[in-house]
RNA sequence: GGUCCCAUCGUCUAGUGGUCUAGGAUAUCGGCCUCUCACGCCGAAGACACGGGUUCGAGUCCCGUUGGGACUGCCA
């Protein structure tokens, strides 16, 4: 007998488009994507936009953009829950018919009062089940509630946390249809995961308390629950839930700050997951190595410094061609739209070890791409002094004579010149560096000359001599 | 308050009862390299939350304490 071709693993990522894709969501998406890819399964994208007031199209676009940037491609979707209301209604009707749900006429005000009263007495703030056995029908302002069991317990074997058991008495009857006749999250998510054949639900562990109630819903709907894997949350440096006040938290912000997607992926993957002592992983390695059994249980503080370090390494590793493409928008952003590409190509290999982000890389590249470098006033004051005019003059003469193409010859001549002047290398190199780049730091002085070429070196030295003389 | 989850260097983590005087990464500090700034290399400091058990033996298993977190919505 041959088995049907139904994929054995189907994962999904269901963001609600009420904000940009955050680090936590991105990691959840990554783990789902990796799990599907590792097992040769399918990855479904679904927008949970049942809350029509808070969901916005611009967030849908922004989430899609972030996913694409990270390279997390989906095999199905994006589905939109807002387009599946008929299906949810059908499931709710079925539940009503089967006696697994009931109409509730309690007003939000009344509910709030009972809740507060319960809290005041130090009791559990749960729905009291007033309408549970009332046999009510639909009415203006009414909702439908799921009729959950009052006794026993619901248990599941979480793939990262192990067995988790929940007393049914701890769960009240949750609303599945709102008074505006839209379905709630719990109902929609379960119906969708059934319809879409989801086999593994990998999500943040803030969903742990939702899981037993959803399992009950699966059973009421006559479906087998999927496997669950609850991954620990990502925290800010103060160990509280990561939020805006911790700095950049949305994926596109990192992109705009000059981070490479593979650095993001690497950093995110290592948060809660590990493979021995290995720190650097390519996408292919992650797909090959990733599995849920190596996911940790405890929450993790996001380490921005480590991400930056990863980013620096990835910038160093990137091909010249890609770097060119990556850095161009960042150059444009600082007003450098037209420039001599060969100069940038020559400069880039010397710049990458010095840049931790693409923003910095563009900054490092600037002196070589501008007609005249922007002179740092402090550097000018310190190094382009009258007494250095002669030094610059001597360097100019040397460059005129030996050129800048033969680095060996250039260095030899430069050192000879220092000796001749009776000056240490640094005393000659620093004024030259400022003359050529406008700054006190740069790649090696000979590399700088080679990048600029003889003509520009001579021109800049002359300009600097004038500055020093004046 | 209740329910549930979690607990190794500052941070991310390795560690699945003996090989742990606890390993790696990052951050910090020191050194080397050196024309500056980086990169790179070498080195230092730095952790098993606490208390009970189980065991010949516990970072590893069990219980408790403490601490942290999540949930407790007609948000998802």
Among protein residues, the one whose C-alpha sits closest to the C1' atom of B23 is A277
Nearest to A372 by CA among A456, A253, A467: A456
Contact A273, A295 (CB under 8 A): yes
Within 7 Å of a protein beta carbon, the nucleotides of strand B are 1-8, 10-15, 23-27, 34-40, 68-76
Query: How many angstroms separate the CA of A97 from the C1' of B26?
Result: 58
Find out whether A143 and A177 touch, Cβ atoms under 8 Å. yes
CA of A100 to C1' of B57 (A): 55
Among A262, A437, A297, smallest CA distance to A354 is for A437
Task: Tell me which protein residue sits closest to nucleotide B4, measuring alpha carbon to C1'.
Answer: A209
Cα separation, A275 vs A52, whole angstroms? 42
Same fold, A7-78+232-317 and A85-231: yes
**CA-to-C1' span, A299 to B50 (A):** 21
Residue showing tokens 């993790």: A300
The answer to whether residues A319 and A325 touch, using CB atoms and an 8 Å cutoff, is no
Distance A348 CA to B44 C1' (A): 35
| Nucleotide closest in space to A49 (CA vs C1') | B76
| Angle in degrees, CA A287, A293, A298, rounded to 5 | 110
A76 token code pair: 């199905």
The active-site residue out of A244, A297, A378, A424 is A244
Q: Identify the CA nearest to A44 among candidates A27, A32, A56.
A: A32
The structure tokens listed for A229 are: 């894997």
| ipTM of this complex prediction, to 2 decimal places | 0.94
Helices (H), A318-357: 320-333, 341-351
Nearest-nucleotide field for A178 (CA, C1')? B74
Nearest to A345 by CA among A363, A367, A369: A369
Residues 6+ apart with CB under 8 A from A287: A34, A37, A38
Q: How far is CA A244 from CA A23, A70, A188, A229, A256, in A?
A: 11, 21, 29, 27, 16
The architecture CATH gives domain A377-468: Orthogonal Bundle (1.10)
Distance (Å) from CA A166 to C1' B4?
A: 8
CATH topology of domain A85-231: Rossmann fold (3.40.50)
Q: Which CATH number fits domain A7-78+232-317: 1.10.10.10, 3.40.640.10, 3.40.50.300, 3.40.50.620?
A: 3.40.50.620
Distance from C-alpha of A29 to C-alpha of A186, rounded to nearest angstrom: 19
Nearest nucleotide by C1' position to the A298 CA atom = B6
Show me where the domains of chain A are located.
7-78+232-317, 85-231, 318-369, 377-468
Concerning whether A297 is annotated as a catalytic residue, the answer is no
Could you list the pLDDT tens digit for every one of the 470 residues in chain A?
344 556 689 999 999 999 899 999 999 999 999 999 999 999 999 999 988 888 899 999 999 999 999 999 999 989 999 999 999 999 999 999 999 999 999 888 888 888 777 777 766 778 888 888 888 889 898 999 999 999 999 999 999 999 999 999 999 999 999 999 999 999 999 999 999 999 999 999 999 999 999 999 999 999 999 999 999 999 888 887 776 667 667 999 999 999 999 999 999 999 999 999 999 999 999 999 999 999 999 999 999 999 999 999 999 999 999 999 999 999 999 999 999 999 999 999 999 999 999 999 999 999 999 999 999 999 999 999 999 999 999 999 999 999 999 999 999 999 999 999 999 999 999 999 999 999 999 999 999 999 999 999 999 999 999 987 76
Judged by C1' against the alpha carbon of A271, the nearest nucleotide is: B12
């Amino acid at each position: 007998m041959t088995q049907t071709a139904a994929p054995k693993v189907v994962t999904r990522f269901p963001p609600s488009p009420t904000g940009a894709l955050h680090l936590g969501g991105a990691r959840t998406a990554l783990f789902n994507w990796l799990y599907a890819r590792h097992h040769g399964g399918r990855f479904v994208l679904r927008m949970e936009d049942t809350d029509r007031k808070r969901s916005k199209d611009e967030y849908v676009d922004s989430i899609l953009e972030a996913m694409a940037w990270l390279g997390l491609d989906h095999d199905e979707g994006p589905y939109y829950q807002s387009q599946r209301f008929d299906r949810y209604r059908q499931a709710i009707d079925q539940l009503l018919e089967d006696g697994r749900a009931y109409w509730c006429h309690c007003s939000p005000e009344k509910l709030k009062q009972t809740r507060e009263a319960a809290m005041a007495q130090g009791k559990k703030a749960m729905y009291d089940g007033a309408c549970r056995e009332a046999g009510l029908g639909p009415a203006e302002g009414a909702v439908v509630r799921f009729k959950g069991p009052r006794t026993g317990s619901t248990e599941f074997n979480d793939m990262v946390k192990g067995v988790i058991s929940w007393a049914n008495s701890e769960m009240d009857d949750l609303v599945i249809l709102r008074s505006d006749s839209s379905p709630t999250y719990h109902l929609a998510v379960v119906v969708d995961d059934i319809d879409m054949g989801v086999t593994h639900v990998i999500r943040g562990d803030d969903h742990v308390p939702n899981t037993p109630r959803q399992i009950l819903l699966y059973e009421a709907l006559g479906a087998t629950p999927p496997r669950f894997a609850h991954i620990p949350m990502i925290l800010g440096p103060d160990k509280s839930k990561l939020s805006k006040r911790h700095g950049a938290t949305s994926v596109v912000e990192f992109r705009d700050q000059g981070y490479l997607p593979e650095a993001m992926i690497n950093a995110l993957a290592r948060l809660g997951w590990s493979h021995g002592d290995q720190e650097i992983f390519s996408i292919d390695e992650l797909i090959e190595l990733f599995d849920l059994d190596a996911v940790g249980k405890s929450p993790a503080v996001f380490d921005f410094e480590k991400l930056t370090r990863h980013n620096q390494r990835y910038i160093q590793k990137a091909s010249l061609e890609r770097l060119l493409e990556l850095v161009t928008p960042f150059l444009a952003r600082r007003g450098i739209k037209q420039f001599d590409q060969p100069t940038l190509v020559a400069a880039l290999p010397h710049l990458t070890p010095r840049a931790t982000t693409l923003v910095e890389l563009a900054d490092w590249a600037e002196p070589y791409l501008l007609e005249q470098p922007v002179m740092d006033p402090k550097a000018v004051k310190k190094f382009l002094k009258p007494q250095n005019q002669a030094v610059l003059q001597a360097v100019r003469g040397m460059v005129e004579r030996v050129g800048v193409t033969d680095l060996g010859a250039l260095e030899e001549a430069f050192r000879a010149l220092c000796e001749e002047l009776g000056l240490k290398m640094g005393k000659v190199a620093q004024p030259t560096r400022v003359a050529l780049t406008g700054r006190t730091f740069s790649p090696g002085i000979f590399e700088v000359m080679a990048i600029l070429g003889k003509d520009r070196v001579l021109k800049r030295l002359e300009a600097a001599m004038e500055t020093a003389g004046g």
